[in-house]
Chain A
């Protein structure tokens, strides 16, 4: 080859090289979409408010254990029974932001300026507040105003907002959401809770306002009262069917009830890891509460009233003999009823009509709103028991049993205001069984029912029911100045520190 051929050859080479340098199309991810409609984001944020690990170790393992609805002889796995500190305390924080908070925020980003999605945006604002209130109720001050939007805002290290400000923010968002709900605008996209029923969302929004308002009763009484009154005026849930829940579907891992799935997958009924607490069982038994048949069963499936037995809180396999000298086997203690609440398609309940009635009864007793507290209390009991039908045939409680229960006249027997509030708080505790987050928050606010802290020797928090969760340790290496700012304001990052609204 002579050099006269060289130039054309080189040119050819270079051309081949540069032609294939048009790479823009080659870097488009073939596995995932680069855009998304709002509907699926809302469906995601609703469905994945819980997952298996969180359900097992936070919802049951901490919350329900701490308020003695459940008990366990395990240590780390069910750490709330003995007030032990595990990484799970921080995991709830991490997973909340990484899953539903991130996606509900993206939903807001994608709907806030879009007229076609005004109802979806309204629901997103209300639902975001629901999701955030759970997190802040567990930790106190948390990242809120700068949270969950790292890609768009480039804020990688969000500041911690004060819980008082978070409450104002959530209430403001709910009110904005309620004001935007518009039956004549295009419907809600992807709503698996109410299937797009705007009226039900209005009731839910107001009921959530009622919950948040009551929560602030000691911390900011005037704002609390105003919020509660606004909620009642706006119209809260008034029928068991107003319940806010996720109806799960059996057959696919992602749509099953996460608690049922984790019980089944890990064989928790057989292993005896989770038991009904002796405290809770005694309440059900002394009041012959028909909900005992729905909630409890022995591991072999027996639901006989007399055979049900609760496990005392605060013991492990070695010390259980101190409390139960005749202890033989965990098989003798009641656990969750697999034929009702542990069905794979069992719904996960977030806010009920019964709760709303109880909160109203309480507000009436406090003279915040008008009405008949007894009537609301009885509505609550009826609603809660009727609501058990959501767990299928074995959940149905007959009217006769309900009336028999009410015929005990528990309300009349509670003579003092204190006794009445205790009854209402205790009923709340029974009615919100399984929704450990709410049972725990309401117990901290009201102090009802009276619980005796456990005295497990191996626990650094022996004798003190925790008042909050501690932050994830990774925040101290990554977002140190902000988390320390929160600690300076709120108090030491300890289980015993009380959050802003916890002033009892």
Chain B
């Protein structure tokens, strides 16, 4: 009987539906967001049915729906809207879902997961975070993510970026893994300046274009990235590129044109005394030559003094504008055109970009082109196909040498005596074609114009990054995913020191070519199931195979025969070589996530990695390691009835182990052959580091606990995390006694602890109909501590300053790793002080040189970013204030400015000698006057403490004032949107304690942070952005 009743009801419903079919109307309308912009791709659906469509590029839709049915509008990240179907057109305004309860973020392996289920802190940056562009994508993270420390050295627009997440965990690599659309990229660095100078060859992440990026998710540290196993010790940055959206065709044009100007604190230079020595202006040409870059001459009194070219000119400060006269005409031009769209089955996006950079240094430039294709297709039988191909092309001319003298054109800008106009060196060469030098006695002080126009460096990079993914949804519970992706890079470089170069008259040339990359193949089987009403279960197991390689060929020619003809064939001696390496990691991994009533989530994962770099015939120790993780997330606000002002409360905790790979060929000794002489080949041990057959990857164990709380209807939110990250078995390339025949030995010995807090405060302090103010502060503090280096070594020098190196002028400062101290401390010689803190002077009136001691920490423990967005009608103003605190820097630029007398501080005592403030050995006040040159040269050569400065800063990192043209206005032109923005980057420094140079100066993205010398000046960048949506 019951069955019959059921049947009748069913029939009745069917009939009514049939009737409804006949009673259909066409519902028309437009969907916009709160600002009035059309929203494309919004799902428009008749509630309780499968009838639906999506909005087109102009936000329009048209749908046949039963009269009196309910239409549901939904879009990820927006509050769904329901409306009654009517004949009259609907104007739908969708609001952003601030609570984002169902916000999905991309996590490890490209898995989209609901944010509420995550047991760890994760920060996702969306497209709007990349409004103010940088030449290196990674640098655009500065100030935006708590726990992330971004370092952009002063090496030019084509330089690299150092990113560390939650501190430095290793003496080796500390940079995160970058993953684009599920595939790890090759972020190899092509060379960094060191103590003996060099150029920043750029890195892998810089070539990606932020215009093509949908989102960037920062997986901080081991717990979030544990699924990447041996590559995740330093966290991972997951980048998702833009895809097409359903509905119509979107054509978008993004343009940006900005200018750079050098920022130099000229008030820290002296312009009162000129070239010369011992307080007198040079009387002869030979004395001028002998003085070279020294500004220890007489008072600039206007008298006629012989200059380096042999001409007498008035002795006056003509060099006040040297910086702005030399560094000029810097600009950046960026254009990006994209076409995207799609329907139910195919989504596509094609984009081409062109970026041009004219750097601050004259004749130093970079061009970059990106072309990308992104395609998603739903094939039959539940198979989805997805692919992206990105072609990246870079052409760089004249990367600049920094830190050392050799070929560093910035040196004279920082050191030129004030009575010399930099432009007097503009001819670059003398009558015989040799470098026009300030003085033949100072061949290493390069002529900046010679460096710009005669010395030549260029490199060209062509790169294909691509992935193909197939997903087969077997049934409701099972799916299978396969993916293969690769990053393949070809790079050529050329370096020419022409004949006539001051410090190397014969000249030389080198050419290099490298072919490198990384390919990953991955297969994954997923299983999701609701066990019962309360429990559900998602899981997967997978396999990954990684292969990375590099193959490089170099050729070198020394001493040009015919001047001006710069090819290898035109040199007296030539040499060349090739080197290559390959590295493989195979992995099996899996993850299980259990959720209880959608309020308690438990996640477990594991990964086992097998390493080629740990494999060798006859090796007894294992070549594989297992990396586990576990996490819990609990939504208290869902579990209990909380007061209404508390909108959301979640607590989370997790534990994980991850690692860092080992580089290949480190297990055995090898030999290489050198020159052959008289028919005898020479051969020698090629290792300078003793290989270790028992090597294993380091292990990084992390714990974290955190909470996410939101109040007052999400007007105020707090996201707090406490973490601990302990590195064990860090691979220490331990310095050993040279008497062993080797400089270093590889040992698994290091222990480094990091712990810290991250706090994200987000608020909407003001919200009216017209005006809205969103603010977010991210704060982080990281405390690092070296626990152990090796059983033998308690400290080692990681780097030393150029000043004082090999006994040269200036005082040596060091970056040390020392047990019990934070990562990377600055050490150097200090003043000797009495118990009252007074500096102690010797009988000669010079400060007594104290012991070598800790003078600061090279890495800032505190970073604070403060972002604001004000929206008022069509205008929006975005401000990002970025700051770091607690770190120091040893400034070689300041040291050498003391040595050469260009520093403003060296004015004191020029006429009557310097009486240093402090006490004599016997405690009575020092009253011995020392000639200024002797005094400041002594300080420059002996007291590192004088040149260690607090590197803390507060900067206006980004600013953008945007205006959207009124819709009625642009509709006439057939466009959907036009936005104009005034943008600025690094426009103002609110706080800095370091003289002469920018507080963010540095020459490397290496671990040795805290040293600076003679880089490019910091730049102030501003200009316009234009966005057109056709």
Using a CB–CB distance below 8 Å, which chain A residues touch chain B?
1, 6, 9-10, 13-14, 16-18, 20-21, 23-24, 26-37, 39-41, 43-44, 47-48, 76, 79, 84-88, 91, 93-94, 97-99, 101-103, 105-106, 142-143, 146-151, 155-158, 190-192, 195, 247-249, 251-255, 264-267, 271, 317-318, 329, 472, 474-475, 477-479, 482
Q: Which 6 A-B pairs have the closest CB atoms?
A: A40-B683, A86-B807, A102-B741, A150-B740, A254-B675, A23-B615
Q: Is B793 an interface residue (CB 8 A)?
A: yes
| Interchain CB contact (< 8 A) of B688 among A34, A86, A98 | A98
A472 to B685, CA, bound (A): 23
14 additional A-B pairs beyond A10-B525, A21-B586, A156-B740, beta carbons within 8 Å, are A21-B610, A31-B686, A32-B686, A35-B671, A76-B806, A91-B806, A93-B739, A103-B684, A103-B685, A148-B741, A150-B740, A254-B682, A472-B738, A478-B796
Query: Which residues of chain B have C-beta atoms less than 8 A from A35's C-beta?
Result: 671
Among A27, A39, A317, the residue within 8 A (CB) of B667 is A27
Q: How many angstroms from the CA of A150 to the CA of B674 in the assembled complex?
A: 22
Q: 0/1 per residue, B560-586, Cβ < 8 Å to A?
A: 000000000000110100111110101
Min Cβ gap A273→B in Å is: 10
Which of B668, B739, B808 lies in contact with A147, CB distance below 8 A? B739
Is B859 close to A, CB under 8 A?
A: no
- Would you call A156 and B736 a contact (CB within 8 A)? yes
Cβ-closest chain B residue relative to A148: B741
CB distance from A147 to the nearest CB of B (A): 5
> Closest chain B residue to A30 by CB distance?
B580
Cα distance A93–B743 when bound, in Å?
12
Task: Say yes or no: B580 contacts A147, CB within 8 Å.
Answer: no
13 CB < 8 A contacts A-B: A1-B472, A13-B525, A23-B614, A29-B664, A34-B671, A91-B806, A97-B738, A148-B739, A156-B792, A157-B792, A195-B678, A264-B506, A266-B503
Take A17-B586, A20-B586, A318-B277 as given contacts and tell me if A47 and B677 are in contact as well, using a CB distance cutoff of 8 Å.
Answer: yes
- Specify which of A17, A36, A156 is in contact with B588 (CB 8 Å cutoff): A17
Most chain B CB neighbours (cut-off 10 Å) among A43, A106, A155, A157: A43
Smallest CB separation, B575 vs chain A (Å): 7
Q: Quick one: given A13-B523, A249-B677, are A478 and B586 in contact (CB under 8 Å)?
A: no
Question: Within 8 Å of chain A (Cβ to Cβ): is B613?
Answer: yes
A93 CA / B581 CA spacing, docked (Å)? 32
Q: Cβ of A36 and Cβ of B683 under 8 Å apart?
A: yes
Flag if A253 contacts B558 (CB, 8 Å).
yes
Complex contact B580–A31 (CB within 8 A)? yes
Report A194 CB to chain B, min CB distance, Å.
11
Q: Which residues of A contact B806 (CB under 8 A)?
A: 76, 86-88, 91
Choose from B586, B678, B690 the contact partner of A249 (Cβ within 8 Å): B678
- Check B795 for interface membership: any CB of A closer than 8 A: yes
| Among B474, B478, B671, B736, residue most surrounded by chain A Cβ atoms (within 10 Å) | B671
Contact digits for B654-679, partner A, Cβ 8 Å, 1 yes 0 no: 00000000001101111111111110
Q: State how many angstroms separate the Cβ of B406 from the closest Cβ of chain A.
A: 12
A30 partner residues in chain B, CB cutoff 8 A: 580-582
- CB–CB A147/B740 < 8 A: yes
* CB proximity to A under 8 Å, residues B584-615: 584, 586-588, 610-615
Identify the closest chain B residue to A5 (Cβ).
B474
A252 in contact with B443 (CB, 8 Å): no
B680: interface (CB < 8 Å): yes
Determine if B464 is an interface residue (Cβ-Cβ < 8 Å).
no
- Residue in B474, B503, B610, B615 whose CB lies within 8 Å of A1: B474
Q: Is B886 an interface residue (CB 8 A)?
A: no
Asked whether A44 lies within 8 Å of B674 as measured between CB atoms, the reply is yes
Which of B615, B677, B737, B807 contacts A478, CB < 8 Å?
B737
Q: Which of B580, B669, B745 is A156 in contact with, Cβ under 8 Å?
A: B745
Give the B interface residue count (CB, 8 A). Answer: 90
Tell whether, in the assembled complex, residue B582 and residue A33 are in contact, meaning their CB atoms are under 8 Å apart. no
- CB proximity of A59 to chain B, nearest CB, Å: 16
Among B505, B584, B612, B737, chain A packs the most CB atoms within 10 A around the CB of B737
Across the interface, which residues of A come within 8 angstroms of B690, CB to CB? 150-151, 156
Say whether B584 contacts A98, CB under 8 Å: no
Check A32/B738 contact, CB under 8 A, given A1-B474, A247-B678. no
B290 at the interface (CB under 8 A from A): yes
Is the CB–CB distance between A98 and B743 below 8 Å?
yes
B675 engages A271 (CB within 8 Å): no
Q: Which of B543, B579, B611, B742 sits near A13, CB closer than 8 Å? A: B543
B545, B670, B809: the one within 8 Å of A32 (CB)? B670
A93 — which chain B residues lie within 8 A by C-beta? 738-739
In the complex, the answer to whether A26 meets B740 with C-beta atoms within 8 Å is no
User: Count of A-B contacts with CB under 8 A?
Assistant: 252
B645 to nearest A CB, angstroms?
50
- Taking a contact as CB atoms under 8 Å apart, the answer to whether B737 and A26 are in contact is no
Flag if A478 contacts B616 (CB, 8 Å).
Answer: no
CA A264 to CA B581, docked complex, whole Å: 36
Contact of B680 among A20, A32, A40 (CB under 8 A): A40
- Within the assembled complex, what's the spacing in Å between the Cα atoms of A7 and B25? 52
A31 near B579: Cβ-Cβ < 8 Å: yes
B691 at the binding interface (Cβ < 8 Å): yes
Contact digits for B737-772, partner A, Cβ 8 Å, 1 yes 0 no: 111111101000000000000000000000000000
Contact indicator B677/A317 (Cβ below 8 Å): no
Q: Which residues of B contact A94 (CB under 8 A)?
A: 738, 743
Task: Find chain B residues with CB under 8 A from A9 CB.
Answer: 480, 525
Residue contact B682 to A40, C-beta cutoff 8 Å: yes
Q: Given the known inter-chain contacts A16-B543, A147-B739, A251-B573, please indicate yes or no for A29 contacting B684, CB distance below 8 A.
A: no
Docked-complex contact B615 and A14, CB < 8 angstroms? no
Residue among B584, B587, B736, B739 with the highest chain A CB neighbour number at 10 A: B739
Could you say which residues of chain A place their CB within 8 Å of the CB of B676?
255
> CA of A23 to CA of B809 in the docked complex: distance in angstroms?
51
Asked if B681 is an interface residue, CB under 8 A from chain A, the answer is yes
From A103, which residue of chain B is reached at the shortest CB distance?
Answer: B684
Smallest CB separation, B846 vs chain A (Å): 12
Chain A residues lying within 8 Å of B682, measured Cβ to Cβ, are 40, 43-44, 47-48, 254
B735 at the interface (CB under 8 A from A): yes
With A30-B581, A190-B680, A251-B573 in contact, do A20 and B545 touch (Cβ < 8 Å)?
A: yes
Which one of B278, B614, B683 has the highest number of Cβ atoms from chain A below 10 Å of its Cβ?
A: B683
Closest CB-CB distance, B498 to chain A, in whole Å?
Answer: 15
B453 interface contact, C-beta 8 A: no
Name the residue of chain B whose CB is nearest to the CB of A472. B738
Q: Is B991 close to A, CB under 8 A?
A: no
CB distance from A244 to the nearest CB of B (A): 15
In the assembled complex, B969 has its CB within 8 A of some CB on chain A: no
A150, B545: Cβ atoms closer than 8 Å: no
Interface string of B527-561 (1 = CB under 8 A from A): 00000000000000101010000000000001000
**In the complex, A475→B809 CA distance in Å?**
23
State A195–B677 Cα separation when bound (angstroms).
Answer: 11
A43 to B678, alpha carbons, bound, how many Å?
A: 10
Q: Which residue of A lies closest to B664 (CB)?
A: A27
Q: Does B968 contact A (CB under 8 A)?
A: no
Shortest CB-to-CB span from A185 to chain B, Å, is: 20
Indicate whether B3 reaches chain A with its CB closer than 8 angstroms.
Answer: no
B671 to chain A minimum Cβ distance, whole angstroms, is 4
Q: Kindly report which residue of chain A lies nearest to residue B541, judged by CB atoms.
A: A10
Complex interface: chain A residues within 8 A of B745 (CB): 150, 156
Residues of chain B within 8 A of A106, CB atoms compared: 685
Interface residues of B in 684-711 (CB under 8 A from A): 684-688, 690-691
A44 contacts B584, C-beta separation under 8 Å: no
Q: Is the Cβ of B740 less than 8 Å from the Cβ of A158?
A: yes
CA distance A6 to B809 in the complex (A): 71
Most buried by A among B575, B613, B674: B674
Asked if B797 is an interface residue, CB under 8 A from chain A, the answer is yes
Could you tell me the distance in whole angstroms from the C-beta of A439 to the nearest C-beta in chain B?
23
A1:B674 contact, CB within 8 angstroms: no
User: Which B residues touch A99, using CB under 8 A?
Assistant: 684
Verify B793–A192 contact, CB threshold 8 A.
no
B467 → chain A closest CB, angstroms: 19
Nearest B residue to A33 by beta-carbon distance?
Answer: B671
